[in-house]
C-alpha cells in the first residue's frame, strides 16, 4: 500500500473520528456547565473534577477547595481569581458566590503556570465555556493580561467599579516574585475582614518550575488570621493557604 493510500484509508477517517469526538465532548461540557449554573458547589465539583476535567477541569483537590469555601464564610457578593487555567476553579467560585455576585477572572491564557498543556487554555473557542459558568444573575468579567502589568491592574479596578472584594483567590504566576506581586497589587481591592487565598502552598517543583508559593506563604509577613487546607501533609504542591484580613 502506498503512503497516499494509507492516509486515505486509515489516517483521514481516524482524524475525522477524533475531531467528531472532540466536538461532541465540547458541546457536552457546554451543556453541562449551563445546567450547573443554577445548581450547587458539590454538583459542580463532581463535574469539573470528574467527567468535565479534560476540558474545564479545576487544578484543585476537592478535599481542600470545598472546605476552604465553607471556611471563607457567607456567599461572597464580589469574588475574583488571578489565574484561570481550564476554568474549573472559576466555575466553583461562581457556584460558591451569591446569586447576583460580581465575579472577576484575570488570566494570562497559555502562561507557564496555566496547566500541563498551557496552549489549550487560550483561544476564542473557550469563551462560550467560560461564560456558561456564571449564574443567571451573576456579572462575570473575563480579563486577559499579565497580572503584573499596570494595564491589568487598571482593568481590574474598572471591573470592580469602586466595590471591594469579599474573596480573592490567587493562583496565577507561582514564582516567589509572581505571587508576591499579585498579593501586593491586588490585596488592596479586598475589603477589611475579606479573604485572600493562595493555591499550591505545599512545597514542590521550585527547582523544576520555579513554584515558590510555599516559600512565600512561610516567609512573607501576611496580616490577619491564617488557615491551611491540605489534604495530605506529604503531598507535592497543592494546598490552600487562606488569609482573613483584619477588620
* Cα 159 to Cα 43: distance, rounded to the nearest angstrom: 29
Query: pLDDT band for position 226 (50/70/90)?
Result: very high
Q: Which of 226, 222, 219 is nearest to 243 (CA)?
A: 226
Largest CA distance in the chain: 76
The model's pTM is 0.92
Question: What are the domain boundaries of the chain?
Answer: 3-244
Residue 170: per-residue pLDDT:
98
* Cα 138 to Cα 183: distance, rounded to the nearest angstrom: 25
**Residue 145: other Cβ atoms inside 10 A:** 16
Residue 125 sits at the vertex; the CA angle it makes with 121 and 129, to the nearest 5 degrees, is 80
Residue 175: per-residue pLDDT:
95
pLDDT in tens, 103-161: 999 999 877 666 666 667 778 999 999 999 999 999 999 999 999 999 999 999 999 99
Q: Specify the CATH number of the domain 3-244.
A: 3.40.50.150
* Cα 12 to Cα 73: distance, rounded to the nearest angstrom: 53
Decide: 38 and 135 in contact? Cβ < 8 Å: yes
Instruction: Enumerate the β-bridge partners of residue 80.
Output: 104, 168
Q: Which of 189, 200, 210 is nearest to 76 (CA)?
A: 189
Decide: 202 and 231 in contact? Cβ < 8 Å: no
Amino acid at each position: 500500500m502506498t503512503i497516499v493510500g494509507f492516509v486515505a484509508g486509515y489516517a483521514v477517517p481516524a482524524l475525522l473520528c477524533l475531531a467528531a469526538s472532540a466536538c461532541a465532548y465540547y458541546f457536552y461540557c457546554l451543556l453541562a456547565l449551563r445546567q450547573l449554573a443554577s445548581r450547587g458547589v458539590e454538583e459542580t465539583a463532581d463535574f469539573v473534577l470528574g467527567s468535565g476535567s479534560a476540558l474545564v477541569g479545576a487544578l484543585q483537590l476537592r478535599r481542600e477547595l470545598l472546605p476552604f469555601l465553607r471556611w471563607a464564610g457567607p456567599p461572597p457578593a464580589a469574588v475574583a481569581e488571578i489565574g484561570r487555567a481550564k476554568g474549573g476553579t472559576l466555575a466553583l467560585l461562581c457556584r460558591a458566590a451569591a446569586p447576583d455576585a460580581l465575579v472577576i477572572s484575570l488570566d494570562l491564557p497559555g502562561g507557564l503556570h496555566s496547566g500541563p498543556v498551557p496552549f489549550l487554555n487560550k483561544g476564542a473557542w473557550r469563551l462560550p465555556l467560560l461564560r456558561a459558568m456564571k449564574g443567571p444573575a451573576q456579572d462575570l468579567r473575563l480579563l486577559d493580561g499579565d497580572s503584573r502589568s499596570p494595564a491589568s491592574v487598571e482593568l481590574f479596578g474598572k471591573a470592580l467599579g469602586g466595590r471591594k472584594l469579599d474573596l480573592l483567590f490567587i493562583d496565577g504566576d507561582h514564582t516567589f516574585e509572581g505571587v508576591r506581586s499579585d498579593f501586593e497589587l491586588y490585596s488592596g481591592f479586598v475589603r477589611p475582614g475579606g479573604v485572600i487565598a493562595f493555591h499550591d502552598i505545599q512545597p514542590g517543583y521550585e527547582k523544576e518550575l520555579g513554584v515558590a508559593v510555599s516559600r512565600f506563604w512561610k516567609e512573607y509577613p501576611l496580616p490577619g488570621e491564617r488557615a491551611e487546607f491540605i489534604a495530605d501533609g506529604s503531598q507535592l504542591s497543592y494546598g490552600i493557604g487562606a488569609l482573613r484580613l483584619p477588620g
